[in-house]
Amino acid sequence: MSTLLEGLAVREVTSAGADAPRVLLVHGLGGAASTWSLVAPALARDHRLLLVDLPGHGDSPPPAPDEGPGAMRAAALGRRLRRAAARLRAVEGRAVHLVGHSLGGWVCLEAAAADGAGDPDAGTGPQGPAVASVVALAPAGLWASPRRRPPLLPTGQRFARWYAGAAPRLPFDPLPTRWGRTLAFAATSAAPRALPAALAREAVLSVASAAGYAAADAELAAGAFTRGADVRVPVAVVAGRRDRVLPATHLLRSSAPPHARWLEWERCGHVPAWDRPADVVELVRQHVRDAERGAQHDTGQDAGQDAGHDVGRTGGRGGAGPA
């Protein structure tokens, strides 16, 4: 069951204790919770997960009319996500970790930049940073200019809506078949035939029902992430070497935060959480663990300085400097 946080529908999934790190999972264009279905159960064992639906996706309503035409821009979505993170920090007393895919990866980077720069419209305040780290999986926005998409992608929602309407009348459902999943997901997965049928169907229906799809798609094609220098927390970026949507060769390392860890994975398409789920789980666990240790190290140094001890800064936040 979802609840609204800063206009974002969030659903908690966890079997971890109350002191486990808080991790927000943010899907991409047309996505929803199905993006994370192969990784959430394992991550929930040692993290308190919140599955986030972007506006006009899943259970989240579209932006209110008075928010203006730019409400679906990645920067605006990032400020919204940062405000949600700040509210969580105010209640729980600690910063949250962000994991995003595609558009969601860009949004997470924007949230971290707003947090690092102290943007006044992003809910920043005296309580300290709200974002602890970012993992960006095949993130959009790290380009000099948006890439022209493969032929299937501009009609992605049209196909999804056709399927949603036609499937009940078809002699059989094509998505449970290997050839049906290959046709539907050849552009997004390195191994579409291996995707579980239930995941494939949920993913297509999520695209079909996403009221915010067109607006977000238009904004994706009109901008780029330019605030890498404002991000002060540890960042890991994953690019799939078999990604047909955002090939690794199209992403610019220079557009990422300067201290970001850059990973290029073999046998991986546009959705690493589908093609390399075990590796995504291990990456998130390691990244969150390292960021938590770095934050504790910084806190200890601050306490030592406040007590008058000569304690030097050593870049406890992964070389990103003070937050």
* 125-142 as b/e: b if 16+ CB within 10 A: eeeebbbbbbbbbbbbbb
Question: For residue range 102-136, what is the model confidence (pLDDT) as tens digits?
Answer: 999 999 999 999 999 998 876 656 678 999 999 99
Side chain identity, residue 66: D
Of the pLDDT bands very low, low, confident and very high (cuts 50, 70, 90), residue 204 is very high
CA distance 204 to 197: 11
For position 170, what pLDDT does the model report?
A: 84
CA distance 221 to 322: 33
For position 36, what pLDDT does the model report?
A: 97
pLDDT surpasses 60 at 153 = no
Angstrom CA distances, 28 to 45, 50, 139, 171, stand at 24, 15, 9, 32
For position 101, what pLDDT does the model report?
A: 98
Nearest C-alpha neighbor of 24 from the set 115, 134, 102:
134
For the entire predicted model, the pTM comes to 0.88
Q: Which of 125-129, 235-239, 306-310 is predicted with the least confidence, judged by mean pLDDT?
A: 306-310
Question: For residue range 42-70, what is the model confidence (pLDDT) as tens digits?
Answer: 999 999 999 999 999 999 999 999 998 89
For position 120, what pLDDT does the model report?
A: 84
Nearest C-alpha neighbor of 2 from the set 57, 51, 74:
51
Q: Which residue is associated with the tokens 């009221």? A: 211
For position 148, what pLDDT does the model report?
A: 57
In the structure encoding, which two tokens stand for residue 80, read together? 């919204």
CB 117 within 8 A of CB 217: no
For position 306, what pLDDT does the model report?
A: 31
Quickly count: other Cβ atoms within 10 Å of residue 115's Cβ: 32
Q: Which of 34-38, 126-130, 224-228 is predicted with the least confidence, judged by mean pLDDT?
A: 126-130
Of the pLDDT bands very low, low, confident and very high (cuts 50, 70, 90), residue 146 is confident
Of the pLDDT bands very low, low, confident and very high (cuts 50, 70, 90), residue 229 is very high
For position 149, what pLDDT does the model report?
A: 52
For position 298, what pLDDT does the model report?
A: 59
Of the pLDDT bands very low, low, confident and very high (cuts 50, 70, 90), residue 314 is very low
CA distance 185 to 192: 6
DSSP string of 24-53, one letter each residue: EEE--TT--GGGGTTTHHHHTTTSEEEEEE
pLDDT surpasses 50 at 95 = yes
For position 297, what pLDDT does the model report?
A: 61
Of the pLDDT bands very low, low, confident and very high (cuts 50, 70, 90), residue 145 is confident
DSSP string of 71-119, one letter each residue: GGSHHHHHHHHHHHHHHHHHHHSS-EEEEEETHHHHHHHHHHHHHHHT-
* Residue 52 bridge partners (DSSP): 10, 26
Question: For residue range 169-189, what is the model confidence (pLDDT) as tens digits?
Answer: 888 888 889 998 998 899 899
In the structure encoding, which two tokens stand for residue 32, read together? 């929803």
Across the chain, mean pLDDT equals 87
For position 157, what pLDDT does the model report?
A: 85
Nearest C-alpha neighbor of 222 from the set 41, 76, 27, 35:
76
For position 7, what pLDDT does the model report?
A: 95
For position 75, what pLDDT does the model report?
A: 97
CA 214 vs. chain centroid, Å, equals: 19
pLDDT surpasses 90 at 276 = yes
Q: What are the backbone dihedrals phi and psi of residue 322, each rounded to the nearest 5 degrees, phi first?
A: -70, 145
Side chain identity, residue 203: A
